[in-house]
Amino acid sequence: RAAAIKKLPTGGVKLNDAYDIPREAMLGLRPDLVLSTTSYGFDQKNGFATRGQLKDVGANTYVSPRGCDQDTSGMTIADSYRLLRDMGKVFGVSDRAEKLIADSEKNIAAVTARVKGEEKPKVMVLFSNMSMGGNDFSSVVAKGIYNDILARAGGSNAFENASRTSFADLSKEKVAATDVDALVVIGYNDPNPAAYARKLLKEFPQWPAAKNNTYVTLSDSMYLGPSNDVAVRKIARMLHPNAF
């Protein structure tokens, strides 16, 4: 899939500092359809073309239903399946969408069966080298699809109660005072998320994760999309190696 994506045309668009497509560039493309997993991607204050502006140039738009209010805290793997079903309808390939969904469900069920009854280690999930707030650790996951993935992999989120929203903005002291059994680092435009993971484990040697060198790096499998089963499998193998 990665190789196929690499071959797709880019339209010669120059991305902005946030790795997104600016309003003028988007409108200039005169697209037929623009997709976003949340309404953030159509928010004018973020520099994006709005759904109204896109409609004026003949573009249809799609936002994942759970992301219409930019709140991703309630997202689950089921929302990935909703996205796939919707895309199947849009592009007239519902049979392919249903196969993807069925394969994912089967793969996840197999992993969950293997880790059933095991203890649920406390996992820290965060984006590498990314700042979303004012504290040292502002890209720590608290809620959302990430927790559903962790649960099915036989784990739990060490910082689930640190915020009512999707992300927690935490001080170094708060992070240091929390027992972290394992680390999941999500690489977003970071060529070496593993280096960031190793740096964190060195910074917090008191963590069980540091003592056991327990970490995994992931990318798009932790998001809304077709690859959640990959994240479930990789995290489960890290947390419960003896089950595999």
pLDDT at position 10? 86
Q: What is the pTM of this model?
A: 0.93
User: Measured between alpha carbons, how far is residue 96 from residues 5, 33, 93, 145, 225 in Å?
Assistant: 17, 20, 5, 23, 14
Distance CA(188)–CA(10), nearest Å, equals 19
Q: Which residues, at least 6 apart from 116, have a Cβ–Cβ distance to it below 8 Å?
A: 154
Share of the chain above pLDDT 70, in %: 99
Distance CA(80)–CA(93), nearest Å, equals 16
pLDDT at position 235? 98
Residue 182 pairs in a beta bridge with 123
Torsional sign, CA 169, 221, 146, 182: negative
**Average pLDDT of the residues in 29-35:** 94
User: Measured between alpha carbons, how far is residue 52 from residues 21, 58, 63, 103, 123 in Å?
Assistant: 17, 10, 13, 37, 41
CATH fold of 96-243, please?
Rossmann fold (3.40.50)
Distance CA(196)–CA(232), nearest Å, equals 21
pLDDT at 133 over 70: no
pLDDT at 84 over 80: yes
pLDDT at position 35? 95
- Summarize pLDDT for 165-198 with one digit per residue, the tens: 899 999 999 999 999 999 999 998 888 999 999 9
Q: Between vectors from CA 37 to CA 239 and to CA 19, what angle results, nearest 5°?
A: 90
Q: Considering the chain, tell me which residue range(s) the CATH 3.40.50.1980 domain(s) occupy.
A: 96-243
pLDDT at 116 over 90: yes
**Average pLDDT of the residues in 24-34:** 94
pLDDT at 135 over 70: yes
Structure token digits, residue 80: 């990935």
Average pLDDT, the chain: 93
pLDDT at position 16? 83
Structure token digits, residue 45: 């204050």
**Average pLDDT of the residues in 92-118:** 98
Torsional sign, CA 178, 181, 186, 187: positive
**Average pLDDT of the residues in 50-56:** 96
Distance CA(241)–CA(212), nearest Å, equals 13
Distance CA(59)–CA(236), nearest Å, equals 41
Share of the chain above pLDDT 90, in %: 79
Dihedral-angle region of residue 69 (phi above 0 means left; psi in -120 to 50 means alpha; beta otherwise): alpha
